[in-house]
Amino acid sequence: MNPTTAVTATSRVQTLDWSAALKDAGLAGLVALLLTLPLVGLRTIEVQSRLTVEPHLAEVALTALLVFLGRLGLTLAAAGLARPVLAAATLALAAGWVLPFPTEALRVLMVIGALVVALRALWALHRRHDRLSQQERDRRMDHLGARFQDATRLIGPAAVMLAVALPFLPFADRATLDLGILLLTYIMLGWGLNIVVGLAGLLDLGYVAFYAVGAYSYALLAQTFGFSFWLCLPLAGLLASFAGVMLGFPVLRLRGDYFAIVTLGFGEIVRIILLNWANFTGGPNGIAGIPRPSFFGIADFTAAPEPGRLAFHQLFGLQYTPLHRIIFLYYLILALALLVNLFTLRIRRLPLGRAWEALREDDIACTALGINRTTIKLAAFAIAAMFGGIAGSFFATRQGFISPESFSFIESAIILAIVVLGGMGSQIGVVIATLLVIGLPEVFRDLAQYRMLTFGAGMVLIMLWRPRGLLAHREPTLLLHPRQSAFRRQAEAGGRP
Amino acid sequence: MDRAAGDPMLTMTGVHTFYGAIEALKGIDLTVATGEIVTLIGANGAGKSTLLMTLCGAPQARYGRIVFEGEDITRLPTCQIVRRGIAQSPEGRRIFPRMTVLENLQLGAITAPASYAEELERVFLLFPRLKERSAQRGGTLSGGEQQMLAIGRALMSRPRLLLLDEPSLGLAPLVIRQIFQVIRDINRDHGMTVFMVEQNAHRALRLAHRAYVMVNGLITLTGTGAGLLANPEVRAAYLEGGH
Ligand SMILES: Nc1ncnc2c1ncn2[C@@H]1O[C@H](COP(=O)(O)OP(=O)(O)O)[C@@H](O)[C@H]1O
Ligand SMILES: [Mg+2]
């Protein structure tokens, strides 16, 4: 905490007027007493068919006491004693749960009251935290981020190893693998979009268009010409990248909001074309019976292969199980996602990647340095579109069925949310954000009606807490003295005179 | 091809630049000779920054001609102009805040195809401070350090003409003196031609060999730095109440 905030905090504690706070709380308690006495304290009951008045004075006293304490808690929390109030309210909350109460209503009063006071105290703490300058907060967060970045040197490879080993872990059943495939697809899309949004700083709201182009390219090429998956994969990437250039050429000169709106429109246009060009795309019915990938063209994943073809389980002398294909798909998407990741890590060290980041930071400076903005934006767009297209053809082959419904704006929004929440440009941030945004709702499928609610609440919280994303710390790609930890560097850099 | 000191390096003739319908440069004629420090002074909004940006082709001049080392560069794209040997430290420094000092410098060399190790060494020699801070992020540097970085970044593309837009903007007097000292060194020891826009007219005129005064998109006065410093009109308009 910097000196000025410390001063304001203590001075606010000093100005806390205890007698006024007590008087105020006492008044609230008195009002509660007066109100509850006739309503709760004296109840008319029927005893042997005669009406009598039964006193419930203990309940009245308890209610008044609770209101008194609650009111006091609120005042104190606002007056700078947030921490002790928070502790007391939490205790009260726990106590409310276990203590015996004469009536259930009192228990509810206690629990809800304690909750409100606790939230009020939290809010006060947060506000005080807010009073730190934005810069100071960013610096602290970056400090944390740098420390985390050091940890990711271990976390990254560990996560990859876990992902590789997953299909062979004892708990890995069909559902786990399906979830893994879903997560990896979004991670790949997130990493792909990260090139445009995170690195080049262009807000693309229509990324799903390229996903769709890839998916339909694969489906149509495979069905019409009988091309194999392994031929279609690069073709789909190429076609999507072509779509990226087509879109990019006219719109990349637009700035900021205009650019975002046009990409949003593009995404919708692609979906509407897919929906209406029925004799080519199948319209709203989509395309079914999309061929499954083979084991690199050598063997198929079937129980009974066609004559002249080999089945995967025969090739390796295994017992047939449909899980083989799932495991294969899992490894396929893992490899594709890692490919995107490696590409990004590598390109950040090359002039093109650095120019992207420069563009994100300050495009006027880029102009002054003679960076050709249109070319590099177009490159970012085309490359991200290519990865989107490849992910799309994976999606098509995994589902076996695609329709325009899978490529609505909400998909773009989710992928963008993953990138923004992860902290634009952070690779591991995308993974964490995917786990949060896609993984958590999948795990809590039972609470279906709350899924979107919690999704929204989570987004709001993260944006309040870390407006620049979870991991906004940017790791330098070029050092005079390499092999120094990011944390140490930060510490040294922070300690300037 | 080596150019002798005193040859015209840059010539602008009748240059008009527009922002939409607004005419920001209304027919500029000026020259900068090889080896000179030339300064352009003028009030806020006179069009000084526009002039420097026009030299770099962003925005491009609508009418007129810009010739650099005998070649017409009026219609070249910015990246080509930078390759020809013109570099700019833009107004407000505009360093990349989240990138380290070293990365900022490297970006200055982005249009130069060859290795930049030599330039880096030269910049670190000029600004030892930048070497100390090479792993620090640009946004956390002090104002003076940021200005050093902006100049160093411009030098990374190995220019023969260095454009500086208000290098003293928002800096403490002591820091300004340091920066101007470095500009003098770059010019004297490295033979760099410098074209500098300044609001800090007093210092700029003392440093510059020649100077132009700009009012409302037009050059109104020109002369040696010392000559303009003594000019009563200039004194009245730009120096009184200043330093
Ligand atoms: N990007 C722009 N769009 C429209 N008008 C501009 C732009 N930049 C500068 N101008 C206008 O051009 C004139 C000259 O501005 P500028 O070159 O920045 O002046 P100076 O650098 O001398 O302060 C001003 O009237 C300014 O409002
Ligand atoms: Mg200016």
Residues from chain B that touch A489, judged by Cβ atoms under 8 A, are: 135
B24 lines ligand 1 (CB under 6 A): yes
User: pLDDT value at position A5?
Assistant: 41
Q: Do A354 and B58 touch (CB under 8 A)?
A: no
Residue pointed to by tokens 């325009």: A404
Q: Chains A, B: CB contacts under 8 A, how many?
A: 100
Which of B111, B135, B137 is facing A370, going by the closest CB pair?
B111
Residues from chain A that touch B90, judged by Cβ atoms under 8 A, are: 364-365, 368
Residue A137's Cβ-count burial label (10 Å; 0-12, 13-18, 19+) is: middle
Instruction: Determine which of A27-36, A63-72, B79-88, B177-186 has the lowest per-residue pLDDT on average.
Output: A27-36
Ligand 1 atom nearest to B197, measured from its CA: 21
Mean residue pLDDT across chain A = 81
Identify the residue with better confidence: B223 or A50.
B223
Identify the residue with better confidence: A266 or A473.
A266
B22 lines ligand 1 (CB under 6 A): yes
Which is nearest to A215 in space by CA: A430, A16, A18, A392? A392
Which is nearest to A233 in space by CA: A341, A336, A381, A380? A336
Q: Which of residues 459-478 of A touch B (CB under 8 A)?
A: 474, 476-478
Contact between residue A86 and residue A118 where contact means Cβ atoms under 8 Å apart: yes
Element (H, E) at A152: helix A134-165
Our measurement of the distance from residue A169's CA atom to the centroid of its chain's CA atoms, rounded to an integer in Å, reads 26
B42 lines ligand 1 (CB under 6 A): yes
Average pLDDT over residues A492-497: 42
Q: What is the CA radius of gyration of chain B?
A: 17
Contact between residue B15 and residue B28 where contact means Cβ atoms under 8 Å apart: yes
Helix (H, G, I), strand (E, B) or coil at B72: strand
Cis geometry, peptide bond prior to residue B167 (ω within 30 degrees of 0):
no
Question: Distance from the CA of A363 to the center of ligand 2, in angstroms?
Answer: 17
A365 touches B: beta carbon within 8 Å: yes
**DSSP structure string for B175-241:** HHHHHHHHHHHHHHHH--EEEEEES-HHHHHHH-SEEEEEETTEEEEEEEHHHHHH-HHHIIIIITT
Residue A376: partners with Cβ closer than 8 Å, 6 or more residues away: A200, A352, A355, A356, A359
Question: Distance from the CA of B88 to the center of ligand 2, in angstroms?
Answer: 13
Nearest residue on chain B to A350, alpha-carbon basis: B110
B47 lines ligand 1 (CB under 6 A): yes
Instruction: Name which residue sits closest to atom 25 of ligand 1, judged by CA.
Output: B45
Question: Distance from the CA of A365 to the center of ligand 2, in angstroms?
Answer: 14
Identify the residue with better confidence: A333 or A458.
A333
Instruction: Determine which of A15-29, A53-67, A344-358, A445-459 has the lowest per-residue pLDDT on average.
Output: A445-459
CATH number for the domain whose boundaries are B1-85+198-243: 3.40.50.300
Ligand 1 atom nearest to B165, measured from its CA: 21
Give A492→chain B minimum CA distance, Å: 8
Identify the residue with better confidence: B97 or A497.
B97
Q: Decide if pLDDT at A275 tops 90.
A: yes
For residue B141 the two structure tokens come to 């540097």
Domain boundaries, chain B: 1-85+198-243
pLDDT one-digit tens code per residue, A195-210: 999 898 888 889 999 9
Phi, psi of B112 (to 5 degrees): -85, 120
* Complex ipTM over 0.90: no
Q: Do B107 and A479 touch (CB under 8 A)?
A: no
pLDDT one-digit tens code per residue, B109-163: 988 777 788 889 999 999 999 999 998 889 889 999 999 999 999 999 999 999 9
pLDDT one-digit tens code per residue, A352-367: 999 999 998 888 899 8
Tell me the C-alpha distance between A352 and A348, whole Å: 7
CA distances from A448 to A405, A444, B139 (A): 20, 7, 45
B49 lines ligand 1 (CB under 6 A): yes
Which is nearest to B6 in space by CA: B43, B40, B31? B31
Which of A358, A372, A484 is facing B77, going by the closest CB pair?
A372
pLDDT one-digit tens code per residue, B154-196: 999 999 999 999 999 989 999 999 999 999 999 999 899 999 9
A-interface mutation test, from B52, B78, B80, B158, most A Cβ less than 10 A away: B78
Q: Decide if pLDDT at A340 tops 90.
A: yes
Paired residues of B165 in beta bridges: B197
Give B28→chain A minimum CA distance, Å: 21
Name the pLDDT band for A138 (thresholds 50, 70, 90): low
B167 lines ligand 1 (CB under 6 A): no
Average pLDDT over residues A338-362: 92
For residue A49 the two structure tokens come to 């068919």
Tell me the C-alpha distance between B3 and B13, whole Å: 21
Nearest residue on chain B to A477, alpha-carbon basis: B103
Give B218→chain A minimum CA distance, Å: 23
User: pLDDT value at position B227?
Assistant: 92
Mean residue pLDDT across chain B = 91
Which is nearest to A188 in space by CA: A341, A54, A84, A69? A341
Average pLDDT over residues A102-109: 76
Torsion of CA B2, B5, B10, B11, to 10 degrees: -120
Torsion of CA A313, A319, A323, A327, to 10 degrees: -50
Q: Do A369 and B83 touch (CB under 8 A)?
A: no
Helix (H, G, I), strand (E, B) or coil at B3: coil
**SS3 labels along A293-362:** CCECCCEECCCCCCCCCCEHHHHCCCCCCCHHHHHHHHHHHHHHHHHHHHHHHHHCCCHHHHHHHHHHHC
Which of B17, B18, B40, B49 is the best mutation target for the ligand 1 pocket, counting ligand atoms within 8 Å of the beta carbon and taking the most? B49
User: pLDDT value at position A119?
Assistant: 82
Phi, psi of A480 (to 5 degrees): -70, -45
